[in-house]
Each structure stands twice: as structure tokens, then as C-alpha cells.
Amino acid sequence: SNQRVQVFDQQGKFIKEFGSYGSAEGEFDCLAGVAVNRIGQYIIADRYNHRIQVFDPSGMFLRSFGSQGGGDGRFSYPWGVTTDALGFIYVCDKENHRVQVFQSDGSFVGKFGSMGNKPGQLEHPHYIAVSSTNRVIVSDSNNHRIQIFDINGKVTTTFGSEGSDEGQFKFPRGVAVDDQGYIFVADSGNNRIQIFHPDGSFLRAFGCWGSGEGEFKGLEGVAVMSNGNILVCDRENHRVQVF
């Protein structure tokens, strides 16, 4: 890991970078999820430092919150992070098998999830997205499924099971949702992107194992741009692909 954040324009041209290895303010130890809020601040899950760090649009450190533990506002290897239209921050607290919610200043708001495989339970949740209709979409990775919650943490939809058929997953990672509510899942163990209707029914998939164009090795994050392009973090190929 290079322990930094790099920023690119829509054409993939490098703009800036910030961060270095360490545990001081603005330093990282195995960073994971990155989100940008409505005012352009970067919200970053600093995984091995068990905290969330926030930076201004230029990459200057603003604040951090969290420390290692299982209590409210503490983390055990936080991974995915996202924000909603009101600025609330949602964090996949992976090893605590839960999602925690914070105000934009880092104040604890609430939490949901516990370890298990029943509806509403989680096992190593990795990534999270919030739709324009406030549906909270979580990749429940070790349960090989996607769960959708309301903003109060009540599970409303669950779909997927372990396998390689359409609509099945092997350790799903990144999740994203577009303006119409379609759900995009980085099906990491199957080296493909799967797209679902808002109700969780399968729409289509693309990708396979490899290092050529449109092929993947170890998928991580996925995002959907405002123009409809799909960005995929192709981890073991050390690249981002755009579709």
C-alpha cells in the first residue's frame, strides 16, 4: 500500500495526492473506503488506525474520530464509508460486524447489525452506499449477500447467496447505487460486476478473471458517476477501469 489518496479528473488525469504512512493526523495505515460529502470534503476509513479522517477539498486534514474498540464510536478495522444528502456518515465497522452512523462532525448517532447470518445481522460488512431515497445498502461479505436497511437500521431487503450463478456472490465488496436506484455490486470472488434492479432482482453482469481490458483480479470498490459511467477498482491489477 502507498498509504495515500490520489485524486483524478473524469478523464483519469492526475490532480493531486495527500497522505503518508503513520498514525499522526493526516497519516494512514492501510486506508480503505473513501467518500466525498456534499461540500467536497474527503471522508476516509483509516483501517489499521481504527479511525475515520476528514480532509478539506484541497487535502488538508480537518479532524478524525474513533479509536480501537467495540463501544459506540469505536472501530475494529473500519472499511467502507459513505455519506447521505444530509451529511451523515455511515461506516462499515467490519470486525465489529455492524454499521455505525455519525454526524458530519463525528458525533455518534446510532448503530445497527450484529454478528450472524439472520436478516439484519452481518458478518464482515465491507462497503456501504445510500440511495437518494435513503436506502442503506451494505455488502454483507462473508454471508455472500447484499442487505438493504432503512435509515433507522431496520432491514427491508436481502438478496444473494454463495455461488457463481446470476445473482449469487462470493465475498461481495464494493456497492454503489445510481439515481434510479439500480444497485452495482463488485462480486470480488467471481471477478465480475453485477447490476440489480432496485428490488434486488438480477439485471446483468460483466467481467471475468484476467488482466486484459474488462477483466478483473480481486475487485474492491465500485462507483457510478453522474454521467452513468461505472468506475471499478481492480485491486490486484493495480488500476481503475471505467465502463
Is the model's pLDDT at 1 over the cut of 90? no
State which H helix or E strand residue 98 sits in.
strand 98-102
More confident of the two residues 234 and 1: 234
In the predicted model, what is the mean pLDDT of the chain?
96
Output b/e per residue, 169-197; b: 16+ Cβ within 10 A.
bebbbbbbbbeeeebbbbbbbbbbbbbbe
Whole-angstrom distance, CA of residue 110 vs CA of residue 105: 14
What pTM value is reported for the model? 0.95
Whole-angstrom distance, CA of residue 117 vs CA of residue 143: 6
Find out if CATH 3.40.50.970 is the number for domain 5-242.
no
Whole-angstrom distance, CA of residue 148 vs CA of residue 192: 21
pLDDT digits (tens, 9 = 90+) for 61-99: 999 999 999 999 999 999 999 999 999 999 999 999 999
